[in-house]
Structure 1
């Protein structure tokens, strides 16, 4: 699969390297240009690309940038990929510590619904519940006992299948978590968030989620 990863931090960089080693064609970009990625991609199949070119021809575009930076991402970056490409949102809104306050989300809008509006196209929510250290250290082959589950939420069945394959390839059990409007169940503060749960327990955790938990998590960052 041709994959574009936007953001070369702990999440984006780890995913790009892992997918490329499995034979996917991966291009990686950040806001500072390909030269700043040379050390990360050296000796790997990952191709460092300019931000404006990274998504061209991609079948999947993975956003792994600070949540608030989505608003500043030129729409042309994602728009350059084919119309049927899947766009994956891996981000979490962290106001007061990292992201500027976003009034719509503070008023209750689901985080990834806001992202979809900013980009002007549908997205799938995935990889946001696994911390960087777990993403790096807890990947396991399919069928391995205790394999960590990763919820995948979106409105298109074909898109969900594509992203579930990418989750599996990354070393985690994909868990179909419903439409994008219910992806609040995997936002920060909910039972599944950074809990590193196996599949059956992750299903239970999603069902137990309450929107107020994310609001409480955000409030804790203000103190």
Structure 2
């Protein structure tokens, strides 16, 4: 802990992971970052040397961090160290993206959200969805101090009020206005196929987009799947 701020562990040393690491170190958080390769190789990259984050392995970051951010492809969610993350607060920034993840049934099922898959893999962790819907370039370019005009918003979804409060504080520290979407299941309103996904908007507009979820492509797919399930159940 430094100045009351928890150590943030970031699983994923790609573009999103590095941007979040820069924002977090800039906000005064100690940061551990774990990529898929040798931590020594990650540690020697110019980005890592400039920001002052520490490179380590996934299990080590999971054990030592107070809060862990998942910034890796959804298709790798089974590699997340579940045992080390027991009891931890986990921020899920993953998304299903067919170009990377392919078309497995578990990812294409309209009744299942990416965060539900992560939560089921991490049953002893507290999972909150955030940082998944804004592109990494916008995250880096749009971070602003509190109260500054033009500040953009990040949606946050989770099942526990205290966890939502912690993650909202991190979102605020990293330069964005947090918008509570609802329970973790409501995080589906931030996924690909919705208005918020890829959007770079303020809190007021983000709330409006979230409210229009039923009219989005993802919302219509969910409604159709629910109707189909209800009809199938009534046939038996």
Same fold (TM over 0.5): yes
Cα separation, 2, equivalents of 1:211 and 1:30 = 37
Contact preservation (8 Å) 1:153, 1:182:
yes
Tell me which residue corresponds to 1:221.
Answer: none
List per-residue Cα deviations over 1:29-52 (Å, max 9, x = no partner): 111121221213113321111222
Q: Larger C-alpha radius of gyration, 1 or 2?
A: 2
Q: 8 Å contact 1:52–1:77 — kept in the other structure?
A: yes
Report the secondary structure of 1:123's partner residue.
strand
Equivalent residue for 1:151, pick from 141, 155, 177: 155
1:46 aligns with 2:48: no
Cα offset, 1:101, TM superposition: 2.4
- 1:206 Cα deviation from its structure 2 partner: 0.3
Identify, as 1 or 2, the structure richer in helix.
2
Question: Which of 94, 102, 105 is residue 103 of structure 1 equivalent to?
Answer: 105
- Which residue number corresponds to residue 197 of structure 1? 201
Is 1:186 aligned with 2:190? Answer: yes
1:191 deviates by 1.3
CA contact (8 A) 1:190 1:210 kept: no
Output the TM-score relative to the length of structure 1.
Answer: 0.88
Mark the CA change 1:78 to 1:31 in structure 2 (over 3 Å): closer, same or farther. Answer: farther
Question: Displacement, 1:173?
Answer: 0.7
What residue number does 1:220 align with?
none
Q: 1:4 aligns with which of 9, 15, 19?
A: 9
CA offset at residue 102 of structure 1? 3.3
Query: Number of paired residues?
Result: 212
Distance 2:17 2:215 in 1: 27
* 8 Å Cα contact 1:185/1:211 also seen in 2: no
SS of structure 2 residue aligned to 1:176? strand
Q: Using the alignment, how far apart are the partners of 2:219 and 2:16 within structure 1?
A: 24
Which of 68, 73, 80 is 1:61 aligned to? 68
2:96 matches 1:89:
no
Q: CA RMSD in A?
A: 1.9
Moved more, 62-71 or 43-52: 43-52
Q: Partners in 1 of 2:214 and 2:8 — Cα distance?
A: 33
Which of 32, 35, 50 is the aligned partner of 1:30? 35
Sort the Cα spacing of 1:31 and 1:78 in 2 relative to 1 into closer, same or farther, 3 A: farther
Q: Give unmatched runs, 5+ long, in structure 2.
A: 1-5, 222-236
User: Is the aligned partner of 1:19 residue 2:24?
Assistant: yes
